[in-house]
Chain A
Amino acid sequence: MNGRRTATLKPVGPTRRAVLVSGGLGLGALLAGCAIGGGPNSAATPLAASSSTGPLQGEIRALFMKQAGYSEDDINSMLASFTAKNPAVKVVPEFVSYEALHDKIVAAAPAGTYDVVLIDVIWPAEFGTKGIVADVTALWPADWKTGMLDGAVRTPEYDGKEYGVPWILDSKYFFYNTAHLQKAGVDAGALDTWDGVLDAARSIKKAGVVKYPLIWSWQQAEALICDYTQLLGAFGGSFFDSAGKPAFNNAEGLATLEFMRKTLQDGLSNPASTQSLEEDVRKIFSAGQASMALNWTYMYGLANDPKQSQVGGKVKALQTPAGPKGRPGVNGSMALSITGSSKNQQAAWALISHLTSQEVQNKYAISSLPCWRTSFDDPAVVKTNPEVVPQAKKQLADLIVRPAVTQYNQVSQVLQAEIQKALSGDKSSQKALDDAAAQTASLVG
């Protein structure tokens, strides 16, 4: 690159553009500085129960998710019934894919675009402490805590405060292929414990019914942690001990990871598991290439649908098998929250109360199971999915949550990376967990 300058140039003075640029840079710096250096820290100030009783009015924008739980049509009907009761309120819904949900909430937070947002169970800690969603503990009626299932109540909870209201409950159930079991002479009752599941898998493999009886969603993503959590609960482990230090590298945590690794090593689990998400699990199971799998409620309908599956009619769902210490399901639920920057919190709360009410949830139970205890005994609800509802009633009452820490995403990334290394044989399980614990400890501080 030649640095030669034409020597005859007479300096003309700063270019117009240079002035523009430096002026703009200065202005930008000023603005940016204001945004960052000054201003109060907007941690969540708890919302107080509103004392005004006037009619609700104004506009609220709500962010929902597409294609999961309730369909868009369902939600629009729910909104219509809300606006019928509160004609002065206008609700503007928006639907995005799950991946976009977190990013949109974060990007929109400083701009105050939304009043109501749907959040995942792993976000209250992160969003609540940063004031992105509001603390609504004071607004919760007392009977909700007893009226809703335990797992539901814990969904929007962090540090003893409620940052939303549970809405879409979900956990991972144990699905199996009746035809495969029959061919291998295995009784479904054996699937009540993980040991029984392994025995069943061995029989199925030996009988040559299928090469890899088990398939899991162990790709390096949140799905991996969901499975690990559910198994951890079965083995009686925990993520943090009572002092707040990482505890997943203790004996129970190790047993969990070893359980996972051994199934791969023994050829009981499909090696493709480490690149599979829930959707891949469904596809492989539905192609008859696996006999047993853990997956969310949604898989039941699709796996039994002859247009989407080759094993339609042969699929059953059970509560997750029991390990030595228990059988909690992983909490994969979602909750509705009021944003910290909402200007119409009263109307937002009214909307949320309406959407999460037992009446509304029962009506659309076919799309997503309600959060209320008594709903599961309601014949109309049971009728929507007679196979799954009884199992759900048992499982949703006993859910284990992933670590409720503000840096959850980082902790999850660390765990995902280390667990994958152990599963691929790169590191011993103990070392992987120890490394993860060390990194987690420095993150959580």
Chain B
Amino acid sequence: MTVDAQPRRHPRRRESPGRRGEWRLAVALLLPAAVVVFGVVLYPVARTLISSFYAVNSPLPGSYPFIGLDNYTKVFSDPRFYPVLGHTLYFTLVSTALELILGILVALLLNSGLRWPWLWRSIVVLPWALPTIVNASLWRWVFNGQYGPLNGMLSSLGIISEPIQWLGQPFLALNAVIAADVWKNTSIVVFFILAGLQTVPDEIYEASALDGAGRWQRFRRITLPLIAPSIAVVLILRTIEAFKVFDIIYVMTGGGPASGTQTIAFFTYQQAFSNQLYGYGSALAYLIVLAIFALAMVYLRMLRQEQLAGVQ
């Protein structure tokens, strides 16, 4: 199936403002996206979904027994699943929260009329520009217990006398991975919030300052609600990304120590690829989707996105 390389279609010009006009316009606008996404993804999704109902243990076609929902129930009775889920939830919540808070702070800072704004923005962009696997290698090296520069710096400054095994203890390692992830991804949060801040006209600030509102009040009453849409977008995206996190675990710790940094996407990779249990791996993957979906719904409800519900 070839992708239409000219996706920009002219929406049909229907001058009548009725439903049918919107309808056809909507379809015309959405058709390119549908083609691009579903054209590629439909067959794989269907195939893995179906695999998840069979006991598939090889990539080659063959006759595998149909086992219905067994793969899914097996996930919940697998004792390894719960720690993995726990690590994933911890990782997702902590890294997203940190990225959001730090991102908002930095965005506000950047928006507050610094000198040479381009310089500061470039610095903020740098962590984001580094490829993920280089980022992971970098932090693996930095945190290394024996020759890592973090221990080196801390001990040459006299702060520690014994090297700390950052990646040697499960919980510490998980936090080290979070640190690496937050360092890289805060930049993008900054830019999203910054873009959102641009829609707040200066007059509003001036007006409220004239009214005597303090900085914190201005932030809470004016800025925060106005950037709430940006926050929502970033929150959902970062949550999805954090739940799917794979590359950084793969390079930094390989799931260890003592399975302490195994997240659910990495676990799925092991089951589906290393162990060739495609049925089980597919079931895990769709459970991940359900979990993220549930989380996303929770966010949407919490932030009460009425705009998305169709109220204009």
Contacts and interface: CB of A to CB of B under 8 A. Distances in A.
Given A33-B50, A37-B63, A103 B273 contact: yes
Contacts of B301: 1
Interface of A: 1-6, 8-10, 12, 15-17, 20-21, 24-25, 28-29, 31-42, 102-103, 106-107, 109-110, 126, 130-132, 215, 219-221, 270-272, 274-276, 280, 283-284, 287, 289, 340-341, 407, 409-410, 413, 416-417, 420-421, 424, 426
B38 A271 contact: no
Interface string B102-143: 000000000000000000000000000000000000000000
A49 B162 CA distance: 63
A15 B23 CA distance: 9
Given A24-B42, A132-B60, 15 more contacts: A2-B309, A4-B309, A20-B38, A24-B46, A28-B46, A37-B64, A39-B63, A42-B62, A106-B59, A219-B253, A283-B147, A287-B147, A409-B275, A413-B275, A420-B256
A341 B64 CA distance: 19
Nearest to B30: A17
A109 to B, nearest CB: 5
Contacts, number: 180
Interface in B247-264: 253-259
B14 to A, nearest CB: 14
A220 B59 contact: no
A32 B50 contact: yes
Interface stretch (B2-10, B91-99, B164-172, B286-294): B164-172
B45 A28 contact: yes
A105 to B, nearest CB: 9
A295 to B, nearest CB: 15
B195 interface: no
Interface size class of B (residues with CB under 8 A): 35 or more
Interface in B20-57: 20, 23, 27, 30-31, 34, 38, 42-43, 45-47, 49-51, 54, 56-57
Contacts of B273: 102-103, 106
B167 to A, nearest CB: 4
Q: Say what secondary structure dominates the interface of chain B.
A: loop
A275 B257 CA distance: 7
A20 B163 CA distance: 60
Contacts of B51: 32, 36
B169 A424 contact: yes
What 6 A-B pairs have minimum CB-CB distances, sorted nearest first?
Answer: A220-B256, A28-B46, A2-B309, A32-B47, A272-B145, A41-B62
Contacts of A287: 147
Contact of A413 (B47, B253, B274, B306): B274
B155 interface: no
9 contacts: A3-B309, A35-B47, A36-B56, A36-B61, A42-B61, A219-B253, A275-B165, A280-B146, A284-B147
A220 B257 contact: yes
A39 B62 contact: yes
Contacts of B253: 219-220, 275
Nearest to A21: B38
A130 B23 CA distance: 51
Scoring B27, B61, B64, B165 by chain A CB atoms within 10 A of each residue's CB, the highest score goes to B61
Interface string B62-84: 11101000000000000010000
B168 A110 contact: no
